[in-house]
Chains A and B, each alone.
Chain A
Amino acid sequence: MKQALVTALLVLMSLAVTRTASAKDGATMRVGSKRFVESYILAEMVAQLAREGGASVEHDQGLGGTAVVFRAIEDGSIDVYPEYTGTLAAATVKTGASDLAALRAALAPRGLAISDPLGFENTYALAVSRSVATKLGLTKVSDLVGHPDLRVAMSHEFLGRRDGWPGLAERYGLAFAAPPKAIDHALAYEAISRGESDVIDVYTTDAKIGRFDLVVLADDRRFFPPYDAVLVYRADLPARVPAFAKVLERLRGAIDATSMQKMNARAELDGVPFARVAADFLAKRAGSAGDRVGLLAGTLDVVKRHGPRHLMLVAVSLAMSIAVGVPLGILAYARRRVGAAVLGLAGVVQTIPSLALFCFFIPLFGIGPVPALAALFVYGLLPIVRNTHAGLVSIPADLRDSAIAIGLSPSERLRHVELPLASRTILAGIKTSAVVAVGSATIAAFIGAGGFGEPISTGLSLNDVTMIMEGAIPAAAMALLVEGAFVVIERAVVPRGLRESREV
């Protein structure tokens, strides 16, 4: 029984390792995306086209921000992801040069290549409402100069960035009677539609530009660097996966800004799954807005797709926490000074926010399930170490003495008296760790480990409550099931005499 359990765990662990390694063996092409709608849609297009071409494709949705995704492609965990030239220039290559040739030259030594532009730009821009634009005849940023009475509202980030408002105002000589108001980006659209402000900053493919009928002013003095959408891919990918070469061809200049805006709107505002949005665009379908599945069906689908991974994350990390935590707890009990240090250290680890802990392991293990397992393992240690120690310490002195007095060796005492007597407390610690792991594992999706956190993180970036629920409900259900399972496990593990004596 015990051996079977150990074998099963080993198999699970090796599966986890092979899965992460699979991007490198060439059989599968792995597409990554950042955690926002447009990136999901573009990555989904790449995945679908490659699949059509016969390749085996996995899409790691919403791995994280630029830093995480770029690291993933550098170490080969993914093969391709959508990116913007301006972002590459500023955040990853840091050459200052932002033209495609310079970027390609900079990435080539790292084994990375950049596709031709996909056809649209997603850059900062200023926008005004259609009525104001018509009334004042505004089409480009320099048209704003003659209208100092316009009310300007900008996102905090845009106001603060040197390459945002300060630089822009200087380049165009813009001056307004009232200083620009700082406002949350999501609220800026509401403000302009209610006539509370006249000029706001936008991204050129924002879903809401079309919805709120805004006019984007042309950057006629080329202040903003180009943010052309491109694909960054492993240089050997077209040779390794022939279908990908066709994908590059098919997407070259294929998407204009208006199309992208509409696709973003469908996904973000209408709640259409982005796989569907991507498929519709590729099939040149306009597509309809309302074709979501219900919450129940969606939840069941999530359980089927993400349940096994979530369970694996919890089971493997918990097994490791037990394998290390129980001996550490015993050590803490046997050696008082070591014990204080161990318990103190474990306590400190527990105060680290779980997301931060997950990120600590990225430099060591890259992204995917391995760093997630490491983080969950460390997170699960404290309750087990603490309860093992507490359970052993709380054994009544007369029983401890009796065990010594009848002539048992230290190891016999531990195995036949002390651990059985502490088993209920130790098990309670393991249960705590298990339930915490079920919850914490939802955060693992933020570093690309999958599980029920995947619909949650995607739902967060889409502001889609239903999708968040589709991940949260099974996670909560699993936590309850784990609680229930421990009732059964306690019957098997805690000696009968102890269980009965507590009931009296």
Chain B
Amino acid sequence: MAALALERVTKAFGTRAVIRETSLELAAGEKLALIGPSGCGKSTLLRMILGLVVPDSGTVRVGDVVVSASSARAVRRRVGYVIQDGGLFPHLTAEENVTLVSRLNGRDGAALRARVSELAELAGLPEALLSRFPHALSGGERQRVGLMRALMLDPDVLLLDEPLGALDPIVRARLQEDLRDAFRKLEKSVLLVTHDMAEAAYLADSIAVMRDGAIVQRGTMKDLVDAPAHPFVAEFVGAQRTLTEALR
């Protein structure tokens, strides 16, 4: 059974079609990068999975549950969500951000504390920073806390919406490494939205290229480079300048 399935979903905002009939499946443990230019609908697709956007037609399934108004809350607790800059609540400390939902569900004490330590190590966050408020953390640290919060309830699926988009190259590179390590350890299904080809190739098993609300091609990086299904794919892949090219 697929960890995640979108079946022929569509979405229009007013008269503008944002998602044209699109289907996408993610196997358990699979890591897929969703890539494409700004405004191609990749974030909208991600938000559909969480029930933040309701599709005009088609169905969204997480595990065996069809996402609907009534099931959305249960689904959200099985899906971890990380956005650019972490989406942390400024009035809570890093630890409070991570544990908010657990505490509201009555979990407390040593077990909770141990889980936070475990996640801090996994996300590469020094435990001393847990008592800080988000404004006192660097961009990279906030992102690590965001990852911890997403993983807190041990979800089956992890959704990341341009999680490293706002970071400088050095921090970004380090976080990419740490994310890859974490993904390997966790063996969770991951759907990563990015517009950076190198990041996509580095973090994911396969890549889906989106354009104008539809997926144009899905395959490994090698597939996309060697056999682009569409001139746009060739153009998009080719547009990512390599360092060697720049030095030439």
Contact = CB atoms under 8 A, between A and B. Distances in A.
Interface of A: 398-399, 401-409, 412, 416-417, 420-421, 423, 495-498, 500-501, 504
Interface in B38-86: 47, 50, 52, 73-74, 76-77, 79, 81, 83-85
B135 A402 contact: no
B91 A498 contact: yes
B198 interface: no
A497 B87 contact: no
A391 to B, nearest CB: 13
Contacts of B112: none
Contacts of A498: 90-91
Interface string B25-48: 000000000000000000000010
Nearest to B81: A405
A405 B76 contact: yes
Candidate in B74, B87, B101 with the most chain A CB atoms within 10 angstroms = B87
A404 B89 contact: no
A253 B89 CA distance: 79
A403 to B, nearest CB: 7
B17 interface: no
B81 A497 contact: no
A405 B89 contact: no
A497 B135 contact: yes
B104 A416 contact: yes
B89 A403 contact: yes
Interface of chain A, helix or strand or loop or mixed? helix
B136 interface: yes
A402 B101 contact: no
A109 B185 CA distance: 93
A405 B91 contact: no
The 10 lowest CB-CB distance pairs between A and B, nearest first, are A402-B87, A497-B133, A495-B91, A501-B135, A407-B76, A407-B77, A405-B81, A420-B91, A497-B91, A498-B91
A406 to B, nearest CB: 5
Contact of A404 (B52, B91, B92, B136): B52
Nearest to B50: A405
Contact of B135 (A406, A407, A500): A500
A407 B134 contact: no
Nearest to B85: A398
Contact of A497 (B76, B85, B93, B101): B93
Interface string B127-145: 0000001111000000000
B191 to A, nearest CB: 13
Nearest to A406: B101
Given A416-B104, A497-B133, A500-B136, A398 B83 contact: yes
A495 B89 CA distance: 11
B100 interface: yes
Contact of B89 (A399, A496, A500, A504): A399
A497 B47 CA distance: 28
17 contacts: A399-B87, A402-B89, A405-B79, A405-B81, A406-B76, A406-B101, A407-B74, A407-B153, A416-B100, A417-B89, A420-B89, A420-B91, A495-B92, A497-B133, A500-B133, A501-B133, A501-B134
Given A406-B81, A407-B101, 17 more contacts: A398-B83, A398-B84, A405-B50, A406-B76, A407-B73, A407-B76, A416-B104, A420-B89, A420-B91, A495-B92, A496-B133, A497-B91, A497-B92, A497-B134, A500-B133, A500-B135, A501-B135
Interface in B109-124: none
A406 B91 contact: no
B149 interface: yes
Contacts of A500: 133, 135-136
Contact of A406 (B74, B84, B149): B149
Given A406-B101, A408-B104, A501-B134, A401 B76 contact: no
B87 A421 contact: no
A404 B133 contact: no
B83 A421 contact: no
Contacts of B88: 402
Q: Which of B81, B89, B104 has the most CB of A within 10 A?
A: B89
A495 B104 CA distance: 18
A401 B90 contact: no
A360 B81 CA distance: 54
A402 B81 contact: yes
B92 to A, nearest CB: 6
A496 B133 CA distance: 9
A71 B211 CA distance: 77
Interface in B133-171: 133-136, 149, 153
A407 B62 CA distance: 14
A401 B83 CA distance: 10
A398, A405, A421, A496 pick with most chain B CB within 10 angstroms: A405
Given A501-B133, A501-B135, A401 B87 contact: yes
A407 B81 CA distance: 10
Contacts of A416: 100, 104
A502 to B, nearest CB: 9
B145 to A, nearest CB: 12
Contacts of A496: 91, 133
B132 to A, nearest CB: 9
A402 B82 CA distance: 8
B104 A404 contact: no
Nearest to A415: B104
A421 B134 CA distance: 14
Nearest to B159: A405
A504 B135 contact: yes
B153 to A, nearest CB: 8
A423 B88 CA distance: 17
Contacts of B100: 406, 408, 416
A409 B135 contact: no
A413 to B, nearest CB: 10
Contact of B50 (A398, A404, A408): A404
A399 B149 CA distance: 13
Contact of B90 (A407, A408, A409, A421): A421
